[in-house]
A and B are shown apart, each in its own frame.
Chain A
Amino acid sequence: MNAYLIALKAIIGREAFRFVSQRGRFIAALVRPLLWLVVFAAGFRAALGLSITPPYATYITYEVYIVPGLCGMILLFNGMQSSLSLVYDREMGSMRLLLTSPLPRWWLLFCRLLASTSISVLQVYVFLAITALYGIRFAWYGYIALLPALLVAGVMLGALGLALSSAIKQLENFAGVMNFVIFPMFFLSTALYPLWKMAESSELLHDICAFNPFSHSVELIRFALYGQFNGFALIWTGLAGLIWVALALWGYDPARGLVRRSGK
Chain B
Amino acid sequence: MISPSSHLARLLSLPLFLGLASPALAAEIWVTNEKDDTVSVIDIDTLEVIRTIETGERPRGITFSKDFSRVYICASDSDTVQVMDPETGKILHDLPSGEDPEQFVLHPNDRHLYIANEDDAVTTVVDTETRTVAAQINVGIEPEGMAVSPDGKIAITTSETTNMAHWIDTETRKLFANTLVDARPRHAEFTAQGSELWVSSEIGGTITVFNTADQTEKGKITFEVKGVHPDRVQPVGFEFTEDEKTAFVALGPSNHIAVVNAETLAVEDYILVGRRVWHMAFSPDKSLLFTTNGVSGDVTVIDVAKRDAIKSIKVGRFPWGAAMRP
What residues of chain A have their CB less than 8 Å away from a CB belonging to chain B?
42, 45-46, 49-50, 52, 54-55, 57-61, 139, 141, 145, 190, 195, 210, 215-216, 219, 223, 226-233
Evaluate whether A228 and B9 lie within 8 angstroms (CB atoms) in the complex, with A58-B312, A210-B1 already known: yes
Evaluate whether A54 and B312 lie within 8 angstroms (CB atoms) in the complex, with A46-B227, A49-B255 already known: no
Could you mark each residue 209-235 of chain B with 1 if its beta carbon is under 8 Å from any beta carbon of chain A, else 0? 000000000000000001110000000
Residues of chain A within 8 A of B10, CB atoms compared: 228
Assess whether A57 is in contact with B1, with CB atoms less than 8 Å apart.
Answer: no
Assess whether B8 is in contact with A57, with CB atoms less than 8 Å apart.
Answer: no
Nearest-neighbour CB distance to chain B for A155, whole angstroms, equals 20
Evaluate whether A59 and B255 lie within 8 angstroms (CB atoms) in the complex, with A45-B227, A227-B9 already known: yes
Assess whether B2 is in contact with A58, with CB atoms less than 8 Å apart.
Answer: no
Q: Would you call B309 an interface residue if the criterion is a C-beta within 8 Å of the partner chain's C-beta atoms?
A: yes
Assess whether A61 is in contact with B272, with CB atoms less than 8 Å apart.
Answer: yes
Assess whether B2 is in contact with A52, with CB atoms less than 8 Å apart.
Answer: no
Residues of chain B within 8 A of A233, CB atoms compared: 2
Evaluate whether A58 and B227 lie within 8 angstroms (CB atoms) in the complex, with A141-B12, A195-B1 already known: no
Contact of B309 among A58, A195, A216, A228 (CB under 8 A): A58
Nearest-neighbour CB distance to chain B for A260, whole angstroms, equals 39
Assess whether B6 is in contact with A231, with CB atoms less than 8 Å apart.
Answer: yes
Complexed CA–CA distance, A239 and B274 (Å): 38
Assess whether A58 is in contact with B311, with CB atoms less than 8 Å apart.
Answer: yes
Assess whether B228 is in contact with A55, with CB atoms less than 8 Å apart.
Answer: no
Residues of chain B within 8 A of A215, CB atoms compared: 2
Assess whether A54 is in contact with B3, with CB atoms less than 8 Å apart.
Answer: yes
Assess whether A59 is in contact with B272, with CB atoms less than 8 Å apart.
Answer: yes
Residues of chain A within 8 A of B1, CB atoms compared: 195, 210
Nearest-neighbour CB distance to chain B for A246, whole angstroms, equals 24
Complexed CA–CA distance, A46 and B254 (Å): 9
Q: Would you call B5 an interface residue if the criterion is a C-beta within 8 Å of the partner chain's C-beta atoms?
A: yes
Assess whether B4 is in contact with A228, with CB atoms less than 8 Å apart.
Answer: yes
10 closest A-B pairs by CB: A231-B5, A227-B9, A45-B227, A58-B312, A57-B311, A58-B309, A228-B9, A230-B4, A46-B227, A229-B8
Assess whether A50 is in contact with B272, with CB atoms less than 8 Å apart.
Answer: no
Contact of A50 among B5, B6, B275 (CB under 8 A): B275
Q: How many A-B residue pairs have CB under 8 A?
A: 79
Complexed CA–CA distance, A58 and B228 (Å): 19
Complexed CA–CA distance, A190 and B3 (Å): 13
Nearest-neighbour CB distance to chain B for A203, whole angstroms, equals 13
Evaluate whether A226 and B309 lie within 8 angstroms (CB atoms) in the complex, with A46-B228, A231-B4 already known: no
Assess whether B272 is in contact with A57, with CB atoms less than 8 Å apart.
Answer: no
Q: Would you call B130 an interface residue if the criterion is a C-beta within 8 Å of the partner chain's C-beta atoms?
A: no
Assess whether B312 is in contact with A227, with CB atoms less than 8 Å apart.
Answer: no
Assess whether B272 is in contact with A49, with CB atoms less than 8 Å apart.
Answer: yes
Among residues of A, the one whose C-beta sits closest to the C-beta of B9 is A227
Nearest-neighbour CB distance to chain B for A148, whole angstroms, equals 11
Residues of chain A within 8 A of B296, CB atoms compared: 50, 59
Nearest-neighbour CB distance to chain A for B257, whole angstroms, equals 11
Known: A228-B8, A229-B7, A230-B4. 18 other contacts (CB 8 A): A46-B228, A46-B255, A50-B275, A55-B4, A58-B301, A58-B312, A59-B255, A59-B312, A61-B272, A145-B8, A195-B1, A210-B2, A216-B2, A223-B4, A228-B6, A228-B9, A230-B2, A232-B2
Complexed CA–CA distance, A139 and B296 (Å): 26
Among residues of A, the one whose C-beta sits closest to the C-beta of B229 is A46
Contact of B300 among A45, A58, A226, A230 (CB under 8 A): A58
